[in-house]
């Protein structure tokens, strides 16, 4: 693969074969995985390198008409792509600390319990879980 920022190729995966874009600046934070823009799904997805790399090939000359769609699709997907988790702790550390907000005077234990009464029971706790079992 080239040292350019973008590599345009094709993922040979049977019925799920599609044109892809590899942006070398997108890091997953895991050396065993890579992000690829998948044209069929119009999404940037994380793939395991050991599985996907043997199935990648450069775009063939007769497929050059895909490049415009690949570039446009990647630009749109990149705008909405969430920041990789590996970078999130660094970004959080750089953000100013938030003050913890105290509950309003009207917020009480009783009002919180009443608001939560309509929520579904936690399936791991079991349907018959109550304080008497403690």
What is the full DSSP assignment across 28-97?
-S-TTEEEEEETTTTEEEEEEHHHHGGGEEEPPGGGTTHHHHHHHHHHHHHHHPPPPTTTHHHHHHHSPP
- Of all residues in the chain, what percent carry a pLDDT higher than 90? 51
What mean pLDDT comes out for the span 44-60?
95
Average pLDDT for the chain:
76
């094709």: which residue's tokens?
10
How much is the pTM? 0.60
Give the Cα separation of 103 and 65 in Å (integer): 58
Residue 68: pLDDT band with limits 50, 70, 90: very high
Q: Which of 43, 26, 87 is nearest to 35 (CA)?
A: 26
Q: Indicate the pLDDT class of residue 85, thresholds 50, 70 and 90.
A: low
Q: In this model, does residue 103 exceed pLDDT 60?
A: no
């Amino acid at each position: 693969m080239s040292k350019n920022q973008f590599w345009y190729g094709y993922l040979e995966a049977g019925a799920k074969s599609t044109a892809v874009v590899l942006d070398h600046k997108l890091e997953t934070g895991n050396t065993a995985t890579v992000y690829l823009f998948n044209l069929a799904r119009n999404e940037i997805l994380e793939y395991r390198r050991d599985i996907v790399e043997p199935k990648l090939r450069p775009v063939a000359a007769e497929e050059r008409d895909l490049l415009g769609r690949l570039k446009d699709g990647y630009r749109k997907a990149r705008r909405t792509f969430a920041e990789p988790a590996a970078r999130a702790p660094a970004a959080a550390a750089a953000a100013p600390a938030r003050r913890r907000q105290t509950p309003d005077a009207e917020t009480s234990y009783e009002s919180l319990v009443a608001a939560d009464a309509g929520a579904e029971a936690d399936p791991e706790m079991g349907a018959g879980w109550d304080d008497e079992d403690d």
